[in-house]
Amino acid sequence: MTAPAPAAPPSASVTLQILSIVFYTFIAFLCIGLPIAVLPGHVHDQLGFSAVIAGLTIGLQYLSTLLSRPMAGRLADSLGTKRVIVYGLLGIAAAGALTWASALLVSLPAISLLVLLVGRVLLGIAQGLIGVGTLSWGIGEVGAEHTARVISWNGIASYGAIAIGAPLGVLLTSTLSFASLGIGLLLLAGMALVIVRNKPSLPLMRGERLPFWAAFARVAPCGASLTLASIGYGSLTTFVTLFYLERGWSGAAWCLSAFGICFILSRLLFVNAVNQYGGYRVAIVCMAVEALGLSLLWLAPSPALALLGAGLTGFGLSLVYPALGVEAIKQVPSSSRGAGLGAYAVFFDLALAIAGPLMGMVAAQLGYAWIFCVAALLSLAGVGLSTVLLKRSQAH
């Protein structure tokens, strides 16, 4: 008699394995979310700098994340994913200390801003390290066949943390002070460092090591489409507070929460759609929904409709990253997975890095509402590019 094939691990067991790793993504993005709703207003109102500088303060973090991706991918492939995550958590702790110091120097606006910017750079590098580290660790732990699930749960952890962190940051600042945000980053990073100490890491993968730029070239077509879609997220997180102020509305942080909640719901409900229908098809539908949500934000006559627009934007953007990511990671060998993930993430970072200054200029010329119109048009351009990639893959 033929021996039965070994049973696949239960879905719940795989999910628990994934969650034990993306926990560190949750901590990283909780630390990113805490200041995100209050930082533009702090730089603009408390320190007295322009909307463009406020946008640059947010964008600098994303730019530093972008520039750290080659290093993060190389370290994940050569030193191991656990060590990369530890380095990232140490960076968050340092960013928290500098944010705390910046709050103490608020009477010296230029120096306070400079210290704050250094902290933003460190936080961006930490995000790059932890982002690549957790994805590479998760895929290595549960297998490449679960790539979409790992990316999806990693995103749920990311945006769930933003949804929690944004209003929590507003609460901390209003009840305590801006300095409490720095202290919060220190405490969260310290807790995660204690937890990660006892978690065993994976052995290094043997095989071909692609140079970062070789991996970058392979994933670039999918990455370009991701960039076009992700500018909408960067625009929303950076400028929704100032958009609300321009309209005379309150409760901007809840827009970020609506985005995050709908983002999570979409991933929970449709996580299997990528494997069922293919990455390109899912990305096309999702970017169209995102464009609809951004258009509603642009035209919203009331906070209620703005919340609906933010929710639709999150619902649409939700599966773009895993959908295109599954197609992108197919282009690199498993031994260079860290380089491939890092290269793919560069395109997301690029979108967030340019969204601040680009949309700051749009706001200066046309007003904050027009930011969302431009972002919607870019998302539609992503629909077009993904359609071209789908037809090319079908031809091959």
CA separation for the pair 71, 132 (Å, rounded): 10
CA separation for the pair 295, 370 (Å, rounded): 9
Residue type at 234? G
CA 356 to the chain's CA centroid: 14
Q: Please, which residues have CB within 8 angstroms of residue 249's CB and are 6 or more apart in sequence?
A: 303, 306
> Could you tell me the maximum CA-CA distance found in the chain, to the nearest angstrom?
81
Tell the burial category of 107 from Cβ atoms under 10 Å away from its Cβ (0-12, 13-18, 19+): exposed
Each residue's pLDDT tens digit in the chain (396 positions)? Answer: 444 444 445 566 777 888 888 888 898 889 888 887 788 777 777 776 777 777 777 777 877 887 888 888 778 777 777 888 889 999 999 988 888 888 888 777 788 788 888 888 899 899 888 888 888 888 777 776 777 788 888 878 887 788 788 888 888 888 888 788 888 889 999 998 998 887 766 655 565 667 777 888 888 899 999 999 999 888 887 788 888 888 888 777 788 788 878 888 888 888 778 878 888 999 999 999 999 999 999 888 888 888 899 999 999 998 898 889 888 887 777 666 777 777 888 888 788 778 878 888 888 888 888 899 999 999 999 999 999 988 887 777
- The predicted model scores a pTM of 0.72
Q: Which pLDDT belongs to residue 2? A: 43
Token couple for 161: 């943390």
Q: Which pLDDT belongs to residue 7? A: 46
Give, in words, the CATH class of 12-395: mainly alpha
Q: Which pLDDT belongs to residue 1? A: 40
Q: Which pLDDT belongs to residue 377? A: 94
CA 227 to the chain's CA centroid: 12
In Å, what is the CA distance from 319 to each residue of 87, 88, 181, 282, 316? Answer: 29, 25, 30, 7, 7
Q: Which pLDDT belongs to residue 313? A: 93
* Angle (CA) 374 233 62, round 5°: 110
Place of tokens 């628990």: 16
